[in-house]
């Protein structure tokens, strides 16, 4: 009930704070018999960690994963898989001056309102550091889905108003902003650095693509595939919008334009378009799954802002510390992870559907 778990059959539970001893994730329900590669988990974590470029935070966390249970002789036993990551670069000094004030756009005021008490160091539990655990779990989900020919990737399609106009998948991981259009990537990088120089931040939009997902996943009517995916993606820090397929654009089409017509194909129907983003009536239709997330500009900025302190009195805040001037590039592997976990979960749930 408390909200630190996601998924029903492939169920993750995360724990840990940004500046605590360590963080970790328990995966309960990973199918027995799956070969688990620590190296693959590490590879995904390396994509998300900080300090890799000048568009991300300068906190230096090696993010070394260790598996503490659930894997024997390299294979999942069916018992909970626990992956732990130590926090190493936890310099909390920069947070001392915001201990008693509420940073606008952060969970400071809301956590005080909810819990009455909070671990302010590095943002505590509300920090995006928690998403490392999601990425570790997503890597395990990916190993499972690999066996079904299911692939998931995400890429930045807009930052600070600069939009990608070309798509070359090979380019995505070659630039700091994870954009499939190299020319746009350069402009996006400039925009971020410009904002950083101003002590400010920018946001953007990422697209998530899942191929090979079979038709039939999703549990009508409340745990539809799209509703569950929206839950998964909206739970990522800084995400303020989720759309599937044509999304908000679909609202401006006519039915005759928006409907994806079908033709007979060798393995189920071939769709003549993909405005549905691969989901009809909440259930996957075999077409490529397409989703997009809107990520707000990082709320941590070096500019002075009006706010209140923990007693509710007026205060002025200027956020110090190491922050991402644009969180989007590092949110890309997190969005992939949440999508992988959602698909793994729905795939397992779907096994109970028929006689």
Q: Which two tokens stand for residue 206?
A: 């990422």
**Pairwise CA distance, residues 56 & 207, whole Å:** 20
Residue 78 or 182: the one with the smaller Cβ distance to a copy of itself is 78
Nearest to 324 by CA among 177, 133, 186, 172: 177
# residues near a copy of itself by CB under 8 A: 157
Query: Under 8 Å CB-to-CB from 352, ≥6 apart: which residues?
Result: none
Which of 39-47, 50-58, 176-184, 291-299 is the region at the interface with a copy of itself (rule: CB under 8 A)?
291-299
Q: Which residue from 52, 268, 318, 322 is in contact with a copy of itself, where contact means CB under 8 A? A: 268
Could you say which residues in the range 292-311 bind a copy of itself, by CB under 8 A? 294-301, 303, 305-308
If one asks whether residue 280 binds a copy of itself (CB under 8 A), the answer comes out as yes
If one asks whether residue 274 binds a copy of itself (CB under 8 A), the answer comes out as no
Query: Under 8 Å CB-to-CB from 342, ≥6 apart: which residues?
Result: 7, 225, 228, 229, 232
If one asks whether residue 124 binds a copy of itself (CB under 8 A), the answer comes out as yes
Q: Which residue from 79, 88, 96, 168 is in contact with a copy of itself, where contact means CB under 8 A? A: 79
Could you say which residues in the range 230-259 bind a copy of itself, by CB under 8 A? 230-235, 237, 240-259
User: In a 3-state reduction of DSSP, which class is residue 198?
Assistant: coil
Residue 1 or 39: the one with the smaller Cβ distance to a copy of itself is 1
**Pairwise CA distance, residues 326 & 195, whole Å:** 9
If one asks whether residue 21 binds a copy of itself (CB under 8 A), the answer comes out as yes
Q: Which residue from 63, 153, 172, 218 is in contact with a copy of itself, where contact means CB under 8 A? A: 218
Which of 28-36, 37-45, 47-55, 174-182 is the region at the interface with a copy of itself (rule: CB under 8 A)?
28-36
213 DSSP 8-state letter: P
Which of 39-47, 51-59, 90-98, 265-273 is the region at the interface with a copy of itself (rule: CB under 8 A)?
265-273
Q: Which residue from 138, 277, 321, 329 is in contact with a copy of itself, where contact means CB under 8 A? A: 277
Widest CA span in the chain: 67
Say what the alpha-carbon torsion angle 71, 127, 238, 304 is, to the nearest 10 degrees. -160
Q: Which residue from 97, 100, 113, 169 is in contact with a copy of itself, where contact means CB under 8 A? A: 113
Q: Which residue from 36, 126, 140, 340 is in contact with a copy of itself, where contact means CB under 8 A? A: 126
Could you say which residues in the range 171-200 bind a copy of itself, by CB under 8 A? 195, 198, 200
57 DSSP 8-state letter: -
- Are residues 24 and 82 in contact, defined by beta-carbon separation less than 8 angstroms? yes
If one asks whether residue 40 binds a copy of itself (CB under 8 A), the answer comes out as no
- Are residues 340 and 332 in contact, defined by beta-carbon separation less than 8 angstroms? no
Residue 170 or 251: the one with the smaller Cβ distance to a copy of itself is 251
If one asks whether residue 69 binds a copy of itself (CB under 8 A), the answer comes out as yes
- Are residues 76 and 290 in contact, defined by beta-carbon separation less than 8 angstroms? no
If one asks whether residue 38 binds a copy of itself (CB under 8 A), the answer comes out as no
Tell me the backbone φ, ψ of residue 58, rounded to 5 degrees.
-95, 5
If one asks whether residue 77 binds a copy of itself (CB under 8 A), the answer comes out as yes
If one asks whether residue 334 binds a copy of itself (CB under 8 A), the answer comes out as no
Query: Under 8 Å CB-to-CB from 156, ≥6 apart: which residues?
Result: 164, 177, 178, 179, 185, 188, 204, 205, 206, 328, 329, 332
In whole angstroms, the minimum distance from the beta carbon of 170 to a copy of itself comes to 25
């Amino acid at each position: 009930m408390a909200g630190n778990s996601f998924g029903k059959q492939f169920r993750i539970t995360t724990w840990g704070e940004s500046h605590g001893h360590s963080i970790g994730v328990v995966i309960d329900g990973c199918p027995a018999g799956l070969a688990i590669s620590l190296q693959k988990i590490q590879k995904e974590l390396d994509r998300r960690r900080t300090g890799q470029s000048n568009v991300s935070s300068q906190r230096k966390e090696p993010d070394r994963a260790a598996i503490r249970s659930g894997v024997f002789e390299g294979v999942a036993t069916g018992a909970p898989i626990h992956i732990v990551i130590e926090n190493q670069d936890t310099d909390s000094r920069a947070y001392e001056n915001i201990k008693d004030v509420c940073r606008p756009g952060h969970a400071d005021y809301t956590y005080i309102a909810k819990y009455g008490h909070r671990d302010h160091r590095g943002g505590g539990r509300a920090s995006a550091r928690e998403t490392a655990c999601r990425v570790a779990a997503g890597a395990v989900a990916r190993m499972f889905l690999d066996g079904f020919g299911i692939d998931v990737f995400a890429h930045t399609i807009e930052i600070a108003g600069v939009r990608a106009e070309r798509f070359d998948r090979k380019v995505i991981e070659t630039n700091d902003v994870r954009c499939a259009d190299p020319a746009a990537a350069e402009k996006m990088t400039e925009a971020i650095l410009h904002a950083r120089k101003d002590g400010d931040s920018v946001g953007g939009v990422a697209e998530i693509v899942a191929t090979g997902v079979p038709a039939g996943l999703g549990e009508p009517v409340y745990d539809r595939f799209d509703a569950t995916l929206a839950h998964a993606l909206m739970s990522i820090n800084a995400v303020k919008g989720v759309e599937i397929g044509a999304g908000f654009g679909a609202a401006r089409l006519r039915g005759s334009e928006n409907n994806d017509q079908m033709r007979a194909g060798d393995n189920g129907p071939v769709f003549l378009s993909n405005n549905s983003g691969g989901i009809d009536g909440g259930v996957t239709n075999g077409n490529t799954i397409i989703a997009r997330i809107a990520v707000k500009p990082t709320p941590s900025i070096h500019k002075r802002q009006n706010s209140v302190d923990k007693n509710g009195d007026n205060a002025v805040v200027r956020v110090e510390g190491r922050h991402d001037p644009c969180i989007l590039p590092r949110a890309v592997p997190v969005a992939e992870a949440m999508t992988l976990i959602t698909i793994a979960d729905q795939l397992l749930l779907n096994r109970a559907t028929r006689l």
